[in-house]
Amino acid sequence: MSPRAIADAAAQQGLDLIAITDHNTASMTDVVAEAAAERGIRFLHGVEVQTREEVHVLAYFDRSEACQAFAEEIYRLLPDRPNDPRAFGDQPIVDLDENILRFEPRLLLNSVDLSFEDTVERILEHEGLAVPAHIDRSVFGLIEQLGFLPEGMSFPLVEVVGDVMPMGFDRGARLCSSDAHDLDQIGRRSTEFVMEAVSLKEIRRAAAGIDGRSVVCRNQKRR
Amino acid sequence: MTLQEIAERLDLEILTTGVDLDRSVSGGYCGDLLSNVLAAAGAGSLWITIQHHVNVIGVAQVAGLGGVLLAAGVQPLPSVVERAEEGGVPLLRSSRSAFELAGSLYPLLH
């Protein structure tokens, strides 16, 4: 999934806005942002963090700098265990022309030494938007891993994969994204935002349904 | 004690074919958080878990585990079994709980 291939697939699917949320890293967001810009597609920088309890949390940022700063913090809390390409494949970092710049040596498929609550707090500290990922999934989903949402926590947006909004989460809006691990999967799920601009502030307002803004799931691939 | 002997004593179902079970098992580990197993399970141990998605095999390889024993009758997808065979990771299964299996395994190894 090279940067341009991702942007091409997104363009083909008629997507106006994309984000990439790699596992515990943001090493590719800038280059994918560039590829997206070439095709006039808007972009949000993000990371998918795996917490200590193996819950996946998506973090989105308005600016690359904030995303990178957050990702650096996360990386410091990732165990210093090297990747084993035999077991999990390589972790290449490429440029816009698909030249491999380097391989990420640390195993990214690991948990960061942060609790779910602390992860969310850190995201907010970096002015990001925290979205629990695929909460209804049996693997790495909030519900499976924690059983329920910790008391006192709420999220304007949660990512749901299936068709049903899980109980206890009906107050939040639903984010549907492809979670594509393959080019074919891009666009298989998408969300339509009606809002004034691409910004976290607008996304939060859309999630709250303020002044005609909205967030609607589109769980079907267009073509 | 070899994994083959353990499989026989504990009446375990062997899911992988063509993977050597003659290896000596040095210990056991119980856990369902992959990151925890990566950090704490000793090489050569038999890992007892109810996690059965494909990353389990990768973890077993990286940590050099002796094998993976799926407890409580969980059923892995055929693709997971294939991955285990490709990776030379013995994959076994039992309908008994992790607690019972660990209880039975412990005296065999200590």
Give the chain A residue nearest B87 (alpha carbons). A87
The confidence score (pLDDT) of residue A221 equals 60
Q: Assess whether pLDDT exceeds 70 at residue B108.
A: yes
The confidence score (pLDDT) of residue A149 equals 85
Give me the residue from B35, B39, B61 closest to A87, CB to CB: B61
Domain-embedded: residue A223: no
| Cα A78 to Cα B74: distance, rounded to the nearest angstrom | 30
pTM: 0.89
Domain that holds residue A23: 3-218
The confidence score (pLDDT) of residue B98 equals 98
Give me the residue from B35, B53, B61 closest to A84, CB to CB: B61
Orientation of helix A29-38 relative to helix A3-12, angle to 10°? 50
* Cα-based torsion angle of the residue sequence A153, A156, A158, A163 in order, rounded to the nearest 10 degrees: 120
- In chain B, residues with a C-beta closer than 8 Å to the C-beta of A86 are 61, 87
The confidence score (pLDDT) of residue A222 equals 55
The mean pLDDT value for A4-15 works out to 97
Number of domains observed in the structure of chain B: 1
Q: Quickly count helices (H) and strands (E) in chain A.
A: 7, 10
3-state SS assignment for residue A218: strand
Domain that holds residue B85: 3-109
Tokens read off for B15: 């899911």
The mean pLDDT value for B68-92 works out to 96
Planar angle of CA A197, A199, A202, nearest 5 degrees: 70
Number of domains observed in the structure of chain A: 1
**CATH value at residue B36:** 3.40.1390.20
pLDDT tens digits along A84-109: 999 999 999 999 999 999 999 999 99
Domain-embedded: residue A69: yes
3-state SS assignment for residue A23: strand
Q: Assess whether pLDDT exceeds 80 at residue A116.
A: yes
Looking at this predicted complex, what is its ipTM? 0.73
* Cα-based torsion angle of the residue sequence A139, A142, A145, A150 in order, rounded to the nearest 10 degrees: 180
Interface test with chain B among A80, A86, A146, by most B beta carbons within 10 Å: A86
Half-sphere exposure of A46 (CA within 13 A, CB side): 24
Q: Are A54 and A24 in contact (CB under 8 A)?
A: no
**Hey, are the CB atoms on B58 and A111 less than 8 Å from each other?**
no
Distance from CA of B42 to the nearest CA of A (A): 15
Comparing CA positions, the residue from B103, B107, B108 lying closest to residue B30 is B103
pLDDT class of A220 with cuts at 50, 70, 90: low
Q: How far is CA B79 from CA A33, A53, A123, A175, B65, in A?
A: 34, 26, 36, 29, 20
Domain-embedded: residue A108: yes
pLDDT tens digits along A158-177: 999 988 888 888 778 999 99
**CATH value at residue A65:** 3.20.20
pLDDT tens digits along A31-90: 999 999 999 999 999 999 999 999 999 999 999 999 999 999 999 999 999 999 999 999
